[in-house]
Chain A
Amino acid sequence: TQLLEQSPQFLSIQEGENLTVYCNSSSVFSSLQWYRQEPGEGPVLLVTVVTGGEVKKLKRLTFQFGDARKDSSLHITAAQPGDTGLYLCAPWGGSNYKLTFGKGTLLTVNP
């Protein structure tokens, strides 16, 4: 059984601050996806990382896949209130071809 942990579970920061959230697993995966969910809505895919060590940037968001393809991080620079939401990671491959998610990090960015 894979163990998937996201940390921190909750994060409340002021506008303009930087932050990093983490997704860690005991298993190796083919790829990993990050989603953001806003209140009352379904999750929306932000990015997929595939190669160990890969770094992808999406405006102020930087995603990194660990060299061993067991963990990932999401860094947000100069957070804005519009970044508020639940950030979920979902590994793919290995033992997880059924698309399960971490519990998520609930981010609140205060004006």
Chain B
Amino acid sequence: DADVTQTPRNRITKTGKRIMLECSQTKGHDRMYWYRQDPGLGLRLIYYSFDVKDINKGEISDGYSVSRQAQAKFSLSLESAIPNQTALYFCATSEMGGKAFFGQGTRLTVV
């Protein structure tokens, strides 16, 4: 089993729908992250969490929210999806020294 698991792997949704992307990890790390990747723009940080009670906005948090349900689970929600949120989304965990482990990504298409 993968250390960091994202579900779903692919999703097509309609404009205005609420959607949740889920992430779970077996690494035992406190730190978890959500990134968005668009061609030519690298990985942009949406939200990050250093423990269950600590949630922080990243570079591009507008239009997104997160929930840290447990140390192992970190979910990303799009409250009202719009087409420009079509992207590849990655969840990651990291050790205290920054070494990160990524999920395999969720490809989201908003039509």
Contact = CB atoms under 8 A, between A and B. Distances in A.
B42 A33 contact: no
Contacts of B100: 33, 35, 43, 45, 90, 99
Given A48-B97, A92-B97, A99-B33, A42 B102 contact: yes
A40 B48 contact: no
Majority DSSP secondary structure for residues of B touching A: strand
B12 interface: no
A102 B45 CA distance: 11
A106 to B, nearest CB: 9
A110 B4 CA distance: 32
B97 A44 contact: no
Interface of A is mostly: loop
Interface of A: 9, 31, 33, 35, 40-45, 48, 88, 90, 92-93, 97-104
Given A43-B102, A100-B45, 13 more contacts: A35-B100, A43-B90, A48-B97, A90-B100, A97-B98, A98-B48, A99-B92, A99-B94, A100-B59, A101-B35, A101-B42, A102-B42, A104-B43
Interface of B: 4, 31, 33, 35, 40-43, 45, 48, 56, 58-59, 90, 92, 94, 97-105
